[in-house]
Structure 1
Amino acid sequence: MDTLAAAPGTGPNTTPLPVLRKPLPRATFESLPTDRAVVMGILNVTPDSFSDGGQHSSVDEAIAAGLRMFYGGADIIDVGGESTRPGADEVPEDEEQRRVLPVVEALAKAGALVSVDTRRATTAAKALDAGAVIINDVSGLEASQDMIDLVADRGAYYVLMHNRGNSRVMTSLTDYADVLDDVLAETVSVRDRLRAAGVHDEKIIVDPGLGFAKTGEQNWTLIRGIERFLDLGHKVLVAASRKRFLGELLTTAGKAAEPEQRDAATAAITAVVASRGAWGVRVHDVAPNLDAVKVAARARA
């Protein structure tokens, strides 16, 4: 096996980064496994994300963490520079790009398949230039036409996540006549905008948006109804990792479980949705979820 060379930014006061002497071939979407659900590792380059804020706040730390995920078996690394937790402040565009672009570039050069988690078309465009293949857009119903046109023009894969409003107001927008029917209809309305702009169906990945403008019980309803999303004919990504509704489920003595105590429950959901046909899961802790999708695939076989 090739030994590792020093990475940019390494030195006596920085974290050593494992970078291959011979860069691996750039990963492609077509090289993703088709015999099981794919595992997308979450890499937040932020100081304020709900679960891992501040853990990867420097570029060097983020690259090292992303490489650990990649070498640990993650199929995709999803890099984000702006927290989407309820109540989070908006990050200036230039700061978001300062956080994510060097990380995207380094991981892509190492051979990882990289997704960029952003609401902004300008950041998404620069991330694609840096080597990202997927745009993971949490803006939901507010997806900008610039973003849609970018996806069409560049042929990027696009995660269409259902959401209402932004992080400051979404918790007040949980009024649905029927949460499953309404989320599906609203998702289809954005999907149709993508189609109208020339985006091909195979480039669209649908995410029900657990935790975004949904109550805990509404999240469970969407999980129970995952087949309805599969019926749309697109790849379906489920992102339940460490979310609040899992903390509520695991309440002990009146205290909800902390985010880092929710990984086993996350893996359980991974096994459930993977066994029912979900294309992928987006998770913080790669190893147990990789095990879960392999178990689900074997059970389905």
Structure 2
Amino acid sequence: MVARLHRPHTPLRWQTTRFDLDLSRPKIMGIVNLTPDSFSDGGQCFDTTAALRHAEQLLHDGADILDVGAESTRPGAEVVPLAQELSRLAPFLHEVVRWQVPISVDTYKPEVMQAVLDGGVDIINDVWALRQPGAEQVVAAHPGCGVCLMHMHRDPQTMQTEPMTGDVLSAVETFLRERLDTLLSLGVSSSRLVVDPGIGFGKTVAQNFQLLAFQADLLGLGCPVLAGWSRKSALGAVLARDGQGPAPAQRQVASVAAALLALERGASVVRVHDVKATAEAIQIWLAMHQHAGAR
């Protein structure tokens, strides 16, 4: 069986609260973790001043969207209480929303969604794909916001202790189709929706790479795909020597390679830590495609 590289027709725009994003050129979503325990950079931006400085650098390096999270979803991560998540987000978002750039918040709690959307945030990026009670209703009541629906097997506390079995591509595609159908039935416009296969969220290393190889199949869902490979443990597993893989921060080259492979297979958005390196790689990738028909 050969992985397909063709691009079926998919919408080339993403409607968000304040921005109608043109996806004919890939978009880079830069990661801002307001957490002490994220798998790759926990604690680096836990202070609001440091987080704002980091966000400014991401934009300077070429980020199109800032994705802000205040609760880690790494395997085994502890649940953050609602009040604590809001207190981490509030001072940062109060400032960054005024920058007039697309802001995404990575959260699964409907109360947090309500608060940040009321504060002007553009996108809700939910690892639970709006399955928490009340989340669908919050998003449906904000008719302009963008939404990213991600596939996750089980939950962050247990997803890697009992990863998926069987046909991973079929299971992910079926799950995402069901979630899309539910949102559409609630009146959420398809122009607001993006899907994420959830690399690393309850999948084995082999399953993650199978999802990459056949990612183009997900374009049949009729909406753009977001790919989040940055610094993931599957990359470290492939790079391991004598059973020891590189630390997350040392997976930059592998992360950029995976991002380009995801774009080649139809992704419209890549969520990354290493924005500058990814932006430069995309420039080369776009130059190649620009001149591909010159012969």
1:289 to partner: Cα distance: 0.9
Structure 1 segment 82-101 matched on structure 2, within 5 A = 82-101=71-90
> C-alpha distance in 2, partners of 1:161/1:270?
17
1:148 to partner: Cα distance: 1.1
Tell me the amino acid that sits aligned with residue 153 of structure 1.
Answer: A
> C-alpha distance in 1, partners of 2:185/2:17?
29
Structure 1 segment 43-58 matched on structure 2, within 5 A = 43-58=32-47
Tell me the amino acid that sits aligned with residue 114 of structure 2.
Answer: A
> C-alpha distance in 1, partners of 2:80/2:23?
36
Name the residue aligned to 1:249.
238
1:29 aligned to 2:22?
Answer: no
CA displacement 1:130-177 (0-9 Å, x = unmatched): 22100000114x712411111111021110000122211111342332
Tell me the amino acid that sits aligned with residue 154 of structure 1.
Answer: H
1:107 aligned to 2:96?
Answer: yes
| Aligned partner (choices 286, 290, 294) of residue 275 of structure 2 | 286
> C-alpha distance in 1, partners of 2:23/2:48?
32
1:196 aligned to 2:185?
Answer: yes
Name the residue aligned to 2:248.
259
> C-alpha distance in 2, partners of 1:175/1:281?
23
1:160 aligned to 2:149?
Answer: yes
**Uncovered stretches (5+) of structure 1, i.e. residues with no partner:** 1-25
1:28 to partner: Cα distance: 3.9
CA displacement 1:66-85 (0-9 Å, x = unmatched): 12112222000000000000
CA displacement 1:205-261 (0-9 Å, x = unmatched): 100000001011100000001111112110100000000000111112331111011
Structure 1 segment 1-301 matched on structure 2, within 5 A = 28-30=18-20, 32-140=21-129, 143-155=131-143, 156-301=145-290
Tell me the amino acid that sits aligned with residue 70 of structure 1.
Answer: L
Task: Provide the identity percentage.
Answer: 37
Deviates more, 1:81-90 or 1:226-235: 226-235
Q: Which portions of structure 1, spanning 4 or more consecutive aligned residues, are displaced by more than 3 angstroms?
A: 32-35
Tell me the amino acid that sits aligned with residue 74 of structure 2.
Answer: R
Match of 1:135, SS state, is strand
Q: Whose relative contact order is higher, 1 or 2, with alpha carbons under 8 Å and at least 6 apart?
A: 2
> C-alpha distance in 2, partners of 1:186/1:34?
24
> 1:216 and 1:276, CA in 2 relative to 1: closer, same or farther beyond 3 A?
same
Aligned 8 A contact 1:271 1:295 in 2: no
Tell me the amino acid that sits aligned with residue 101 of structure 1.
Answer: A
- TM norm structure 2: 0.88
**Uncovered stretches (5+) of structure 2, i.e. residues with no partner:** 1-15, 291-295
> C-alpha distance in 2, partners of 1:218/1:65?
33
CA RMSD of aligned residues (A): 1.7
Deviates more, 1:39-48 or 1:224-233: 224-233
Aligned 8 A contact 1:27 1:111 in 2: no
Tell me the amino acid that sits aligned with residue 270 of structure 1.
Answer: A
> C-alpha distance in 1, partners of 2:289/2:262?
12
